[in-house]
Structure 1
Amino acid sequence: MQFSDSHCFLCGAHTSPENRTPVFASWLQDRYKLRDKELLLLDKSVTTFGELTIPCCDTCHTQHVIPLEEEVAQAASQGIAGLQALEEEKLFHWIGKMYYGTLVTELIKEADPLIMPQNPVSENPKMLGKFREFFKVLQSMRVPMVFSDFIPCSLFLLEVSPTEDDLPFEYQDELTTMAFSIKLGSVAIVCTLLDNGIIRKALGKLYHLTKQEQLHPIQVAEFKARVFYAAYIFNVVPEYFERPLKPEDTHLTLDTIIDDVTNEIFNPWEMSAYAHMLEEMLKPWSIREKEILANPPQPISFLLDAQSNFQHMERYQKMN
C-alpha cells in the first residue's frame, strides 16, 4: 500500500508519470458529461473529474481496470436489471477503485495542502488500520481470491422514479466511514465498503420494502442518510486473514474476524446526529433539522408511513 504519485494504486509497483488511470472512468465522464465538472477536495483545492487520475501500472490498467470498467459500463447501460445481474464482487471492485483513488488523492494532497484539513486523515491511526484491511480485500481485483462466507461490503441498488428526477449523475463519499453513493441515470448505488455486509443485514427490512419500487429522489436521499448514518455509528473494523496455500490451490481464500467482544458493533443511535445527516441529504428540498425532528421520537420519513409500511410517492409536496 503506497500513498504516492509514483506507485501503482493497486499493486504498488513503481510507475512513470504517464502511467495513470482516471478515478472516474472515461465512459462515466463521457456518458454523464463530467470531464470539466469540478470536485472540491478536503484541502479546499479544486480539481475536475477529468483531472482526477491515480498512478496505475500497465499490467493493472490493461488486465484489471479496463476489463472491469467495460463490464460495469455494459451492465449500467441496461439499467437496474443489468447492474443487479452483475456479480456483487465486481461492483465492490468498481466502487472500491473510485473510493481508494479519491483517498489516495486526498492523502497525497495532505502532504502539501492548500489549506490543512481540520482532521487530517493521515494522522488518524485507526483510519490507516482500516485502509490496510481494505487494501487487502481490494487486491481481489488482481489476485484470484475467494471470500469464505462473506462479501466485504454492503451494497444497495435503488431504482429512481423519473417523474421529478433531474439529476442524471450524482456522487457522494465519506472517506472516514467508507460510505459511498453514485447515481447512474435511473439507478442509485449506495455502498458501505468495509462492514462484511452487516449494514445491509441491519437495514434488510427497509431494503426489502424498496425492492421492485421506483423511489422518488427525496426517498433515495433518505435511504442514503440511513446508510451513511449506519456507517457513521459502525464501530468495528473487520480483519482479514489468508488461509495457508496448498500446492494445488488456484486462488487465495480469505477469512474474516470481527471483534464484537471488546467492541459493540454499532455505537448508540442518536436521533439528533441522524437528523443532522438527513438534513445534509435533504438540502435540495430545503428541509431543516427542526422539521425533521418536529416529532422527536419519530423523525420525518418519506420512505415509511407511521406503521412502517413503504410510502408510494410520485411527487413531493412541501408541507406548510
Structure 2
Amino acid sequence: MNDLKLYDPFEKMQFTDTNCFLCGTDITSEQRAPVFAEWLQHTYNLKDKELLLLDKSVSTFGQLTIPCCDHCHTQHLLPLENEIEQASAKGLEGLQQLPPQRLFQWIGKMYYGTLITEMIRETNPLIMPEYAITEDPKMLGKIRSFFSVLQSLRVPMVFSDFLPCSLFILSVDPTEDELPFEYQDELTTMCFSIKIGSVAIICTLLDNEIIKKALGKLYKLTEGKQLHPIQLAEFKARVFYAAYIFAVVPEYFVRQVKPEDKQLILDTLIDDVTNEIFNPWDMTAYAHMLEEMLKPWGIREDTILENPKQPISFLLSEENTFIPMLHYKKPA
C-alpha cells in the first residue's frame, strides 16, 4: 500500500541534520545524500570544485550533502539519478525523451538540496547570512508550495493538466564550447540552469509552464539548432529575467483521497485576477542580467544598450529570425 501522506517541514520549521529532508523521519547525522549525484561529480570532475553559498561561505560540489534516510535514498533518489544518467549518456535525444516530471524532480532535488543546506545553516547562531531565507515569509511560502510538488519524488502524484515548472532543453555547438559542465541557480526566483556536455537544461520552478509559453516563439526558433555558448548565455538571461519579473505564486490542492487511491492528484490555481502575471519589463534591469551572463565575453551594459530600444542580441536578427553562429569574433 502506498503512503500518500505528504510531509510538511514548514509547520514546525523542521530543518535539521537529523530529519530526512524528503519524508521527515528521524535519522543520524551520518545519513546523507549528495545534492549533486556521484555520477555527475565523477563524469565532470566536480568533487573539489567550489560553490558559493548564500552566506558567502564556500563549499564544494562533493561536500554539499543533505540529510536523507536510507529508504528515500535507495528507493527514490538513486533510481531517479540512474534514469538521468542513462538519458544523459544519449545526449539531447535521451534527455528530451525523459518524462518532464522526472526532469522537474531531478532539478528540484538539486535546487531544494542547495536551499535546505542554507536553511539548516541559518539555525547556527554564529552564521550571519546576507539573505536569511527563514526570515522572509513570502519566500518561505514559495518554498512550501514548491516542496509540496517536489514530494512527487516520494509520493505517487499526478499533476492535473500542468507541470509545476518551465523546462528548456537546448543543444550547444561544440566548436567554441570550452565548458563541459556549467551550473547556475538563483534561489529567490527559483531559476536553475545546468549544462552537461553539449546539452543545457534551463528550468524555472513553480511557474506552471507560464514562462515557457511566454518565451515559446524564441524556444521554437532554437529547435533543431545548435547554439553558440554566447547564444546560450543570452537565452539564459531571457529566462532568468522572466523569472525575476514573474509576479505570482501558484497554489496547489490535493484532491480528496479515497481509500482505494494509489496516487495523489493535484490541481493548481493562479490568482491572475487581482495580480499581474509579470511585472513590467525594464530594459535596464534586463541589460544587467544579460551583462552578468555575458561576462566571459567582456560585453558591458553600454554595448548591450547601444540601441536603447533594441538591446543587443546574438540569437535574433532585426527580423526576429534565428542567427546561425559557429564563431564569435569580438569587435575590434
TM-score by length of 2: 0.95
Residues 1-320 of structure 1: matches in 2 within 5 Å?
1=9, 2-112=14-124, 116-320=128-332
Matched residue of 1:111: which SS?
coil
Output the CA distance in 1 between the equivalents of 2:125 and 2:321.
Answer: 48
Structure 2, unaligned stretches of length 5 or more?
A: 1-8
List per-residue Cα deviations over 1:74-128 (Å, max 9, x = no partner): 0001100000000100000000000000000111222337763333222111000
Deviation at 1:250, TM superposition (A): 1.6
Instruction: After the TM superposition, list the runs of 4 or more consecutive aligned residues in structure 1 that deviate by more than 4 angstroms.
Output: none
Matched residue of 2:122: which SS?
helix
Would you say the 8 A contact 2:54–2:130 is kept in 1?
no
| Matched letter for residue 228 of structure 1 | F
Would you say the 8 A contact 1:44–1:115 is kept in 2?
no
Matched residue of 2:112: which SS?
helix
Output the CA distance in 1 between the equivalents of 2:277 and 2:15.
Answer: 29
Output the CA distance in 1 between the equivalents of 2:131 and 2:229.
Answer: 31
Structure 1, unaligned stretches of length 5 or more?
A: none
| Matched letter for residue 270 of structure 1 | D
Aligned length: 320
Deviation at 1:156, TM superposition (A): 0.2
Distance change (3 Å), C-alpha of 1:71 and 1:111:
same
Would you say the 8 A contact 1:44–1:114 is kept in 2?
no
Deviation at 1:17, TM superposition (A): 1.3
Would you say the 8 A contact 2:121–2:127 is kept in 1?
no
Would you say the 8 A contact 2:65–2:113 is kept in 1?
yes
What RMSD in Å do the two structures reach over aligned CA positions?
Answer: 1.0
Output the CA distance in 2 between the equivalents of 1:162 and 1:247.
Answer: 53
